[in-house]
């Protein structure tokens, strides 16, 4: 998947209520979501490396921002200009909590909460075994065969396949 950027003023003054920045986006341009009065929730993927000047300025209804990046994105201090961040909650990876708390504009959020690891990272690798037990994905859907990679459930236990 090719890396992409959200350009200058791309969604400026749009009627968005929430946004999820996908994994293939690495930068958010200046004024990209400026003046989105209805915008209340923002989810930024772990791949975003930079957020431009006034990217979310005048989005006066922002109540929750989730930034999945363990490396704090290079962010213009005025990215949330004219937003009452003190009334909003920021969710960030637990491992990066102190870095977000120390840097502008992130440190201006009234509440900054850690996102705890899911626990999937530490699952044992599945060893090849002959069994008639059904296999399910993490949403509980029965699979016809073991996935080539990812996670699955067999006999009530979660496994990882590399």
pLDDT digits (tens, 9 = 90+) for 23-42: 999 999 999 999 999 999 99
Instruction: Please count the structural domains in the chain.
Output: 2
- Domain of 39 in residue numbering reads as 4-115
pLDDT (tens digit per residue) in 39-60: 999 999 999 999 999 999 999 9
Please answer whether residues 77 and 57 qualify as being in contact, where contact means their C-beta atoms are separated by less than 8 angstroms.
Answer: no
At 24 the pLDDT is 93
Based on the fold, state whether residues 29 and 94 are members of the same structural domain.
Answer: yes
Based on the fold, state whether residues 33 and 80 are members of the same structural domain.
Answer: yes
DSSP H helices, the chain, are 97-102
At 155 the pLDDT is 77
Q: Which residues of the chain have pLDDT under 50?
A: none
Burial class (CB in 10 A: 0-12, 13-18, 19+), 157: exposed
At 119 the pLDDT is 56
At 30 the pLDDT is 98
Based on the fold, state whether residues 107 and 128 are members of the same structural domain.
Answer: no
């Amino acid at each position: 998947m090719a890396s992409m950027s959200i350009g200058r003023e791309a969604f400026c003054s749009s009627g968005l209520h929430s946004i999820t920045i996908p994994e293939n986006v690495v930068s958010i341009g200046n004024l990209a979501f400026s003046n989105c009065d209805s915008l209340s929730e923002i989810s930024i993927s772990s791949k975003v490396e930079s957020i431009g000047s006034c990217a979310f300025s005048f989005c006066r209804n922002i109540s929750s921002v989730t930034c999945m990046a363990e490396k704090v994105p290079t962010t213009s201090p005025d990215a949330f200009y004219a937003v009452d961040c003190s009334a909003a909650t920021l969710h960030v990876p637990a491992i990066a909590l102190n870095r977000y708390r120390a840097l502008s504009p992130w440190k201006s959020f009234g509440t900054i909460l850690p996102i705890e690891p899911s626990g999937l990272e530490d699952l044992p690798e599945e060893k090849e075994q002959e069994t008639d037990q059904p296999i399910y994905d993490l949403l509980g859907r029965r699979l016809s065969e073991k996935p080539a990679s990812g996670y699955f459930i067999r006999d009530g236990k979660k496994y990882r396949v590399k």
